[in-house]
Amino acid sequence: MTLKRALFILILIIPKIVSAQLELYAKANKDGSLEPVINYNGRKVLNEKISITFFGLVRESWSQALIGVAYSPSEILTLSASAGIEHGKRSPRYSASIFTKNSKNSLLILGELGSGKSNYLYKINAFHQLNNEISLGISAWRYHGIGPNFRYFIPQLYSTFWAMPAYDHEIKQARLIIGVSFKM
């Protein structure tokens, strides 16, 4: 079997093995510069309560990869913990999150910790789904800012387009973050 055939077969069966999402976004800074970011995350469900999770992020000057476990004690709550590495460091990186969702509202609280006092990240997303396509929310995200978050889902493409005008209080800078997420 050739390598191309093996890759083609793998691409066909991956959706049956793992649920994943690819997210591409850019942070527009006050000086007009753009910082592109690529996130990839997914999960392999082991049973109705436990999943294996993975997450990767790539930026121009930094990257990370994490693998972990998610526990869902009920249909509306998921707790997760991960560990991994970050680019250029010899120390591990850790992440933990709480996610809850009912029919129209969701809340994510996520924290990450690397080596050093200031090497941490937080992300808090609270969303309300207005209809099948549109969600409105607010996000607080270290290195990005605090602000409203608008999401538009296109079912035919399994994709969500989103925008977040934000103010980063740490560097006292307004910015716009625009992205697209693809379900895989």
Q: Report the CATH number at residue 118.
A: 2.40.160.40
What is the per-residue pLDDT across 63-89, written as a single tens digit (0 to 9) for each?
A: 999 999 999 999 999 999 999 999 877
Q: What is the pLDDT of residue 25?
A: 97
- Is residue 179 situated within a structural domain? yes
Specify if 38 maps to a domain: yes
| Residue 119 falls inside a structural domain | yes
Mean pLDDT of 157-172: 95
The mean pLDDT of the chain is 90
* Count of structural domains, the chain: 1
Put residue 29 in one of left, alpha, beta given phi > 0 → left and psi -120 to 50 → alpha: beta
How distant, in Å, are the alpha carbons of 54, 77, 123 from that of 104? 26, 14, 20
The per-residue DSSP string of 23-67 comes to: EEEEEEPTTS-EEEEEEEEEEEE-SSSEEEEEEEEEESS-EEEEE
Which domain range does residue 158 map to? 20-183
Stretch 10-32: mean pLDDT, rounded? 76
* Residue 15 in domain: no
Residue 181 has pLDDT above 80, yes or no: yes
Q: Assess if residue 101 is contained within a domain.
A: yes
Per-residue DSSP letters for 129-147? E-SSSEEEEEEEETTTEEE
Taking the C-alpha atoms of residue 153 and residue 157, their distance in angstroms, rounded to an integer, is: 9
The tokens describing 184, both together, are: 């895989």
Please state, in angstroms and rounded to a whole number, the distance separating the CA atoms of residues 67 and 56: 9
Q: Which residues contact 7 (CB under 8 A, 6 or more apart)?
A: none
For residue 6, being part of any structural domain is answered with no
42 in any annotated domain: yes
pTM of the predicted protein model: 0.86
Q: Residue 75, class by beta-carbon neighbours within 10 Å (0-12 exposed, 13-18 middle, 19+ buried)?
A: exposed
- Check residue 14 and give its pLDDT: 54
Identify whether 8 is part of a domain: no
